Chains A and B, each alone.
Chain A
Amino acid sequence: MAVCVAVIGKDNSPLYIGGIGNDTSTDNELSRQWLVHTALDALEERLATTNSNNATASANAARTDLRDLYLGLLYSTDTHKIYGYVTNTKIKLVLVTSSTSPSGSNIRDAEVRTALRRLHALYADAICNPFHLPGDQIISQKFDRQVKSLMVNNV
């Protein structure tokens, strides 16, 4: 099951980190942040390689076939798996699943993919708020609620 969802801006600053867990202590919160933060390296690397591949392979036809936004498993630890998703505006969506829980151990890639797509949609909705400044932290309670329910229900 998903334990944490993070939205990261194009300058790699955290925009939103939401997690569900048994305990909501700061320790837990911190460990989530570590997880997501360390995933950024792999994420960036993957972005860089896909970009360069696109550029070299098909210079003129590259525009037509869109890169898949879903990046797949970024890395995994003993207890968690971290999946990445990058929007076309370089907003990074990171989903952390727990591999220790029974439901999370055999999660399917397609499930994560759909979950991240839905998260993307939620994010798009959230920043449609005219009072939201792009680049600011997302403090919308509605977004938070929706993301939490997404984590509980879909993944």
Chain B
Amino acid sequence: MRSSVSYILSHAPGESVMSHPDYAQHAQHHACVLVLVKGIGGVLKNFNKLWERIQRVNNIKVTDSSGQVRDIWVRYVRDYPVENNDWGDFQTHRRLLGLITLSKFTNQIELNEVCRVHESLKVKYSNTLYDSRAFMFGPGSNLKKPQQEPETYNTYDDDKLKERTSLSDKISLPSDQADSLSSTESFPRSISSNASYSVQEDNFTTPSNFKTHALFYGENDAVPDLEQHVADLINSLFWVVESKRLERSREKLEKVSLLLAPFEKRDFVGLDMESRNNKKRCMGRVTKNLADLTLQAGLVAEALSLYHSSAEILKSVNDWLWLAAAKEGHCATSAILQYPNLRNPTPLQRNASLQESSPSKIKPLSLYQPNTDPFRKFKLHSSPLRSSKTSSPVNPPSELTPSSSDSVETSSRQSETDNADTESLASSSDIDYQSQKSYLSPDLPSIPRQPPSHINNQYLLGGEEIAEKYRKAIIHYSKYQNAGIIETEACFKAARIAVEQNNSLHASSFLQNVIFINLTLSEQEKIQRFDTLAELYKEIGFLRKAAFCQRLAATRQVSANNPNPDWQRCYYLMLHSFPGHKLSLDPNYVIQHQVGWPALQIQLLHELVVAARRMGHPALATRHMTFLLQTMWPHLSRQEHRDLAIQLQALSAQCEGGPVPLVLETGEVIPPANLTHVPSCTYFNPRQLAPARTPHLIKCKANQGPFIFTPIHFGSLERKNKKDEGKMEYLWVEDDICEVQMKLTNPLPFELKVSNMRLLTSGVVFESIPETIILPPDSPTTVNLHGTPKEVGELQILGYSTHTLGVKSNCRLKNMPMPHKFPASFLIQVIPSLPTITIETTLSLSGNINISNPEISGNITNISLYNGESTECTITITNTSNVPIEYLELSIQSNMDNQLQSKVFQWSNEDIQSQLPINAGDVATIVMKLYGEADFLDLGGVGENLFPNSLTSNYPSRVGSPIPNAQTSLPTHSSNPQNSLSSGFIMNRTSGSFRSSNSQTTSWSAPISIMPPSRGRQIETQIVIRYSGGAGREMHCRQTTLQMNLELLPSVSITHWDVLPAEIPSQLYLVLDITNLTNEEMDFHYTPSKHILIEGKESRRVPVPLDRCPFTITIPKNEDDSMEPKSISTGTSTNSLELMCSEHLTKNVDLRWHLLQSNITGRASVKGITLSQTMMDIVRMSPLNWEVSVNKQCIKPQEEYNCMAGECLSLGVAVWNHLSRPLHKLCLSVQFYQDYNNGVLNYKLDNRVATAGNNKVVLTTLLEAAKAYHECTVVFLTPGEYKIDIQCSTTEPIIDEIPAIKDVNQTIVQSCAGEVSHVWRFIPPVAISVTD
């Protein structure tokens, strides 16, 4: 775009190079009247408010002399360099036409000063200034009222006069500088007369040289007529412009002087001004000037054609600069017409704001109107009078005529303008009303603004044309170095139009051009340039470009060339370039999205930190540094991590970073940045309470179904997973210390101190215990954070907070960096507080030794007991919490079965319950009895070999204990190596031994010393104490486990046993082989009166006299006895009779032992003893009661009967059935034999005995309680010792018997026809000694 012939026409920098670019200019400002608004004197506190109110009056409508409504636009500026004023001829909108001062004074001196400043401002802009207003705010509002009345007069007169004076000014202006100066001198003078008496105050008087229309108010006054006065000013300015326009339009084109841009003055020295070319140049320039004025005066359409024609003229004379200006004007005018929105924003805003607050805004107006209306009328009526009066001392026309070029016309023109003025005044008042109306109905002004005819103008440029023309204009401008500022401004204006056109590329190219314009600007202006560029780039969506410009502006702000660096502005510029770098202030957003160019972002953040620090806001510096470290972590190298961390530490030393949002002065909020990378957390998990403190459900929930595990999830899978994420299945307890375990890694190469680590929670109140740790570099460290929930309910663990590198961070799990996926939070149910206990156990062993071992709960108690010994264990429970224990339950888990367990451990539940509740600090004791339950029947090593425990025993703990099996006892007497064969074989082989009870005795010869050393048994027991209390006792309890290791030592064992009939039929002897398995001497009591001493490891045989087992013990009793399963396991000789007998023995045998040395006593039992059939018959009372008589003489047991050989003896046998049922087919037999007492029985007595009568009778039925009697006669033929075996056998089983038994019995009694199933003998056999 930039012309290659640039600088061709440029000259050395002229004296009046416009050096202050106005970046805020818009194209529509070409049509505006420029008014300076300045606050002078003391600082007015509501200045900004007033400034806004003034700005709203930016468009008023004036009806001109021909009745046409003119739309006048105003641009208010707060500051205007006077140099730019010099370009007023070039582009008239650059002329400052009006001045409004807002001033404050408190006393006369200040008032004088204010007046002086106002006047000096007038002088400063005297070249162009047409009118001014001074709003003065004095102390107190009381002086307003007396002031106002004369003031209104003055206003009117002033207006009138000023217009005249300004008219004169106008006329004089075109001539030259000197003239205009003189005229301006006259201008205040003309007013002076009015102004001098306008200030009539009680105390304050304006200095005599103050010749301005001044308005006085109290400082706190509402200034309701501000808009009105401003509109007055505009109105008066319009008429000046309008008159100048008319004047210009009536000029003879041949006579016009050459208009010059400030730097051109020297160029035309010595040129032929009369040349045709130059004439044309003058014409073109004047036309252009006229076009400017026309545009300002509100005749947009006319301006369009004027611009066009001037451009044509100027093009022909190659006056590039003015051609460019004409083109630009053309473009601006077209743009104004094409895009009314360009102008609208402000008035629309004004209307909108008025509408918003319309009730409040309209009211003062309506209140104000009745006041003003009379004034107005009064003014109107009095105006001629006043004017004549006031103007009389100084005659304006005479003064106005002095040295204008065309004085001929002035007078006439003057009269015209006078007329026009009166008209205008009338119209202006009209306009005022109109404008007031427009306040009330804001739609009104927009209607006359663009008549459709304007748009159809032939010279109107289209969108593309505007851009093209502007481009050309800029190229033309670029040919003049001195017009650099004009060019820059044109670029901005063009860009703004392009923005309006929505053509970003055009806009960007215009903006790009700005860069190339070489201007000697102050740093501040350069910054402004970048700022404006950034603004516009933002508007077209070039955020990156904007950011780039903003950053440039920021760096300029603090560059070395800048004499007064402004770090604050630098900071804000940097901050506002965030969007362009795709950065957000929220670190989480940045981390999640990871867009933008990290290298640039890092650089920017670095600079931002520096800026924040330099501008003296260390908190911000710390925050941004934290942000940098947090968000750019993945893009930084290790070395950078280290450096930044150190820098952060240094920054935070000045101001600590905290997790609170920072609010800037501009209202922007900097959200907190949390360091989650330092230290980085790789694992985070709340932990269950310690086992001893874990709450359990008191009642276990019933299982949902038959399956322990099912892969089928009912309902939607996903939903359930989602819902359960982070939900912990265990419980925490109120007021109990809970723990979260986390694994932290320090990624920095130096030791990192992390202090004040806490848990972040929500939900119930949670008291977190701060933790301080020092992390070594690069090694994961496990850290436990503790805390106490203080309420019942749901606890949500959101994360943790750290304080490291001087920065406090709240690290929330949901914001954790990606590689570690944590749930957003952990949910834990907190239940009401539960008591805690400590447990001590005290053991009192029987005897002297007392072991007291105070132990903490959960520890192990070791106890040794001899089998059969009993002791007491005292469990002391102390309530260590504040919650009373209201529920206590004891249960035992061990490796024993329940029955054994209940025998070993005994306690009283009632006793426990009676001690409840246990209040805080109280102690309860539970006494537990321990008994060394054991099986004392030992069969030596054989049983172990033959029947492994698992097969034969229900006692899981029977390690090394004997197997009480009669069957297995049998092989012991024979050292047969085949005893490990099948049991059936054993039975066959051993069947003989049952033939007689005597045979059993042979086994006694086996040496007892070969018995294996019995080992102790280890019983591991856990005593589970469940307890609860407080509010949560209904649902939950705690559980403490007391480990108790019980060692059961062998004491005595019964290795063999047998039964012998006693001397009395109702009694029997149980013969036991007792082995003392201890090393000490033992005193063994087997009856209450009898005892025996057994040396350690020695064995003794003791007979225990017992009553025989009566029949009356009913069978059902056996059913529930523990013997039952055992007898089944033995498998062969099961019947309830045996159990009954065994039970009988167990009950009646009372064995006690006493270890003399260690003074330990204990018991032993024959529980589980097994009996063979033969033994049982001895043990049991016979079902048949015998009564044997010889020669009618009853035989007593153990009695020997003597008789002579050949003597006839009559043997009578009477049998009673004691059974509860009849016996059938009972075979009663009498047999004689000789006992040689060497184990040989001779039944073959054929020639020694003769019997008469049956020696065998069959009784078909023997009813219960019935008696049968049989008698036979016997004669012993030879002397000798005879015995009579009287027996009764039955062929039908008494109780169901296994065939094996039958076999046995069959072998015993051959004579009975194979059906004998049971034999009862008369014991002892009758012995008869026969003598010669």
Residues of A bordering B, CB below 8 Å: 11-14, 29-30, 33-34, 37-38, 40-42, 45-46, 49, 75-78
Bound: A76/B2 CA distance, A: 12
With A41-B545, A42-B545, A78-B515 as known contacts, state yes or no: A33 contacts B599, CB within 8 Å.
yes
Across the interface, name the chain A residue whose C-beta is closest to B540: A45
Cα–Cα distance between A37 and B544 once the two chains are bound (Å): 7
Which residues from chain A contact B551 at a C-beta distance below 8 Å? 34
Does B588 have its Cβ within 8 Å of any Cβ on chain A?
no
B537 touches A14 (CB 8 A): no
B870 within 8 A of A: no
Enumerate 14 A-B pairs (CB-CB under 8 Å) in ascending A order: A11-B595, A14-B599, A37-B544, A38-B544, A38-B548, A40-B544, A41-B537, A41-B541, A41-B542, A42-B542, A42-B545, A45-B505, A49-B504, A78-B516
| A41 with B544, Cβ < 8 A, contacts A29-B599, A30-B600, A78-B515 known | yes
Interface contact B512-A76, CB-CB below 8 Å: yes
Whether A34 and B505, one on each chain, are in contact in the complex, defined by CB atoms closer than 8 angstroms, is no
A45 touches B512 (CB 8 A): no
| Contact residues, B592-631 vs A (CB, 8 A) | 595-597, 599-600, 603
Q: How far is the CA of A76 from the CA of B516 in the complex (A)?
A: 10
Determine the main DSSP class of B at the interface with A.
Answer: helix
CB neighbours (8 Å) of A13 from chain B are 595-597
**A42 engages B508 (CB within 8 Å):** yes
| B416-437 contact mask (Cβ, 8 Å, vs A): 1 or 0 | 0000000000000000000000
Task: Knowing that A30-B600, A37-B600, A42-B545 touch, tell me 17 more A-B residue pairs with CB under 8 angstroms.
Answer: A11-B595, A13-B595, A13-B596, A14-B599, A29-B599, A30-B603, A37-B544, A38-B547, A41-B508, A41-B537, A41-B542, A41-B545, A42-B505, A42-B542, A45-B508, A75-B508, A78-B515
Distance in Å from the Cβ of A3 to the closest Cβ of chain B?
A: 17
How far in angstroms is the closest Cβ of chain B from A72? 11
CA distance A46 to B860 in the complex (A): 83
A14 touching B544 in the complex, CB below 8 Å, given contacts A45-B505, A76-B512, A78-B515: no
Say yes or no: is B1048 at the interface (Cβ < 8 Å to chain A): no
A75 to B513, CA, bound (A): 10
B543 at the binding interface (Cβ < 8 Å): yes
Q: How far is the CA of A61 from the CA of B1024 in the complex (A)?
A: 86
How far is A42 from B596 in the complex, measured between Cα atoms in Å? Answer: 16
Rounded to whole angstroms, the CA-CA distance of A77 and B533 in the bound complex is 14
B residues near A37, Cβ cutoff 8 Å: 544, 548, 597, 600
- Chain A residues, CB < 8 A from B595: 11-13
Number of B interface residues, CB 8 Å? 22
**Residue pair A33, B597 in contact (C-beta under 8 Å):** yes
A45 x B504 contact (CB < 8 A) = yes
Residue of B nearest to A75 (CB): B512
Interface residues of B (CB under 8 A from A): 504-505, 508, 512, 515-516, 537, 540-545, 547-548, 551, 595-597, 599-600, 603
Instruction: Name the distance in Å between B655's Cβ and chain A's nearest Cβ.
Output: 29
**B-side contacts of A40, CB under 8 Å:** 544
Contact B600 A45 (CB under 8 A): no
Known: A29-B599, A30-B599, A45-B504. A38 touches B512 (CB 8 A): no
Residue of A13, A29, A49 contacting most chain B CB atoms (<10 Å): A13
Smallest Cβ-Cβ distance to A41: which chain B residue: B542
A51 to chain B, nearest CB (A): 13
The complex places the Cα of A78 from the Cα of B599 at a distance, in Å, of 23
Q: How far is the CA of A76 from the CA of B511 in the complex (A)?
A: 11
Q: How far is the CA of A110 from the CA of B505 in the complex (A)?
A: 22
A27 to chain B, nearest CB (A): 10
Q: Provide the residues of chain A in CB contact with B515, threshold 8 Å.
A: 77-78
9 shortest A-B CB distances, which residue pairs?
Answer: A41-B542, A38-B548, A41-B544, A41-B545, A45-B504, A38-B544, A38-B545, A33-B599, A75-B512
- Report the Cα distance A30→B606, complex, angstroms: 13
Chain B neighbourhood of A45, CB < 8 A: 504-505, 508, 540-542
CB neighbours of A12 from chain B (8 A): 595
Residues of A within 8 A of B547 (CB): 38
A33 and B542 form a contact (CB under 8 A): no
CA distance A11 to B596 in the complex (A): 9
A30-B603, A42-B508, A75-B512 known; A14-B545 Cβ under 8 A:
no
Q: How far is the CB of A135 from chain B (nearest CB, A)?
A: 12
Among A34, A76, A78, the one with the most B-chain Cβ atoms within 10 Å of its Cβ is A34
Residues of B within 8 A of A11 (CB): 595
User: Which interface residue of A12, A30, A38, A76 has the most chain B CB atoms within 10 A?
Assistant: A38
CA distance A38 to B549 in the complex (A): 9
Kindly provide the distance from the CB of B595 to the nearest chain A CB, expressed in whole angstroms.
7
The distance in angstroms between the C-alpha atoms of A38 and B595, with both chains bound, is: 15
CA distance A14 to B602 in the complex (A): 14
CA distance A12 to B598 in the complex (A): 12
List the A side residues contacting B505 at CB < 8 Å: 42, 45-46, 49
Shortest distance from the beta carbon of A10 to any chain B beta carbon, whole Å:
12
Q: Count chain B CB atoms within 10 A of each CB in A14, A29, A37, A42 and give the residue with the most.
A: A37
Q: Is the CB of B600 within 8 A of A34?
A: yes
Collect the chain A residues with CB atoms within 8 Å of residue B512's CB. Answer: 75-76
Q: Output the nearest chain A residue to B537 by Cβ-Cβ distance.
A: A41
Taking CB as reference atom, which chain B residue is nearest A49?
B505
- Smallest CB separation, B63 vs chain A (Å): 46
